[in-house]
Structure 1
Amino acid sequence: MGAEKIRVLLAEDDKNLGNVLKSYLDIKGYDTTLCVNGQEALNAFMHSNFDFCIVDVMMPVKDGFTLVKEIRQKNKRIPVLFLTAKSMQEDKLKGFSLGADDYLTKPFSMEELLVRMQAIIRRANARQGETGNNIFRIGQYTFDYNRQLLKIDGKEQKLTSKESALLRLLAMNLNDVLDRSHALKEIWNDDSYFNARSMDVYITKLRKFLKGDETVELINVHGIGFKLVTND
């Protein structure tokens, strides 16, 4: 995201809280634009370049879920942090299914918000760097996407094109959830039931290939997708 100030779109209908958050983030070196409803935030997003989105779930005119869904149609990779007064599991699952990077339940401290933002930004920068050279570190493994090779301790496993494409998406979202529907549309161009069953077979194959490092796990996230996790 470069040396310039990180541009943050803040969508929060509580004007008092919004102004406090904006002032705090501006002091911390961010360039923050505050919008008080979802439609205003979408208009701002469409006419400006942002690096990060903080979105309240419950907003007038257009709610946060709808806003992020429409933002994702333009930019699939921009980091998104949801704010909510709810701690309902269903809301969190819905948010993550839309590609949220994190979820913060009100009330929260400014320090916690900042720490979570910084962690999300670090992950986004790491993914951006990995995307450029297509060489990924996954625990003790090295994955060369261009050569379709997975290596560990001098041993090489040749992957098929679909195995490579799926592992690349997982590696780009390392320690984050990869949405099942997104992966299907990216690789199979369709999220039909039969393609979903096919992807499950590839997931099983990748688990087998990754058994050589016990710190690496490829787990199911029920109702959402998959997560490639490194515990080293």
Structure 2
Amino acid sequence: MGKVKVLLIEDEITLAKIIKDTLESVGFDVCLAYDGEEGLKLFFESKPDVLISDIMMPKISGLDVVQRIRKTDQTTPVIFLTAKTEVDDVVAGFEIGANDYIRKPFAMKELIVRIKALTGRVSSKEESEQRIFNIGDYEFDADKGILLYMPTCDTEQLPNRETEVLKRFCQNFGSIVPMQNILLELWGNDDFFCARSLQVLITRIRHRLSKDKRIHIINIRGNGYKLSLD
């Protein structure tokens, strides 16, 4: 398994260099841009495994960068770094296709955990673990992140974090998966912003499974989620 390629777009030069040096010290390959325009160009040139971007930047904002990227690329994970904490800004980021959101200042360890979760480089379990799950009319390959709709043989490639969440639902089919467990395992934090990110992600999974009306992902308020089949 090769190095994870990270594109970092951050206009605070000192912070950008600290993040770059830290990530490279733990094995990531980091490409750096100091404004949105340069970052957008480098994204399509370098084809990173994950994009980390500030929101407020010169020339093109982080929101605009991601909005343009999502027109042709819906799967590359995106993490926003920002000092802005307004709920509307967080929601706007998720609605245009961001996968995660970290508020400044943050611990580098937290950023590393989130990158690994988004790129599927979390600690692996035993090889004998079940990888293929049948969900109504769907077959889900949790190892490859491929969702197959069997009646038409249509397939979808799920982003890494959607794969990890759906895998947990399948492994605990018919039982509640605590929301806090999902957040801590895949986001490294269980605050409001991470919970909002999870809600958006589950909406996407529901949409992917919507061809079979028997399938439900039930929100057990204050507890977690349950995958069920009528």
TM-score norm. by structure 1 comes to 0.61
2:138 to 116, 140, 143: 143
Q: What is the total number of aligned residue pairs between the two structures?
A: 174
* 8 Å Cα contact 1:135-1:142 kept in structure 2: no
2:86 to 88, 108, 114: 88
Residue 154 of structure 1 is matched in structure 2 by none
Amino acid at match of 1:113: L
Quote the Cα distance in structure 2 between the aligned partners of 1:5 and 1:229. 33
2:162 to 169, 173, 179: 173
Partner SS, residue 8 of structure 1: strand
Quote the Cα distance in structure 1 between the aligned partners of 2:134 and 2:21. 38
Residue 100 of structure 1 is matched in structure 2 by 98
Mark the CA change 1:115 to 1:61 in structure 2 (over 3 Å): closer, same or farther: same
Amino acid at match of 2:16: G
TM-score norm. by structure 2 comes to 0.62
Quote the Cα distance in structure 2 between the aligned partners of 1:171 and 1:142. 22
1:5 to 3, 6, 12: 3
Residue 68 of structure 1 is matched in structure 2 by 66
1:32 to 11, 30, 38: 30
Deviation readout 1:140-182 (Å, 9 max, x if unpaired): x79323424xxxxxxxxxxxx6xx979997999354535979x
Amino acid at match of 2:9: A
The answer to whether residue 50 in structure 2 is matched with residue 52 in structure 1 is yes
* 8 Å Cα contact 1:135-1:143 kept in structure 2: no
Amino acid at match of 1:47: E
Mark the CA change 1:121 to 1:5 in structure 2 (over 3 Å): closer, same or farther: same
Residue 153 of structure 1 is matched in structure 2 by none
Point out where structure 2 has 5 or more consecutive residues left out of the alignment. 125-130, 140-147, 166-197
Deviation readout 1:46-66 (Å, 9 max, x if unpaired): 222211100101111000000
Amino acid at match of 2:49: D
Pairwise CA distance, 1:68: 0.6
Partner SS, residue 116 of structure 1: helix
Amino acid at match of 2:104: K
* 8 Å Cα contact 2:36-2:61 kept in structure 1: yes
Residue 188 of structure 2 is matched in structure 1 by none
Amino acid at match of 1:173: E
* 8 Å Cα contact 2:10-2:33 kept in structure 1: yes
Residue 115 of structure 1 is matched in structure 2 by 113
Point out where structure 1 has 5 or more consecutive residues left out of the alignment. 127-133, 149-160, 188-198, 211-216, 220-227
Tell me the percent identity. 33
Amino acid at match of 2:138: F
Mark the CA change 1:33 to 1:169 in structure 2 (over 3 Å): closer, same or farther: closer
Amino acid at match of 2:102: L
Residue 22 of structure 1 is matched in structure 2 by 20
Pairwise CA distance, 1:73: 2.0
Pairwise CA distance, 1:26: 0.5
Mark the CA change 1:171 to 1:44 in structure 2 (over 3 Å): closer, same or farther: closer
Larger radius of gyration: 1
* 8 Å Cα contact 1:7-1:51 kept in structure 2: yes
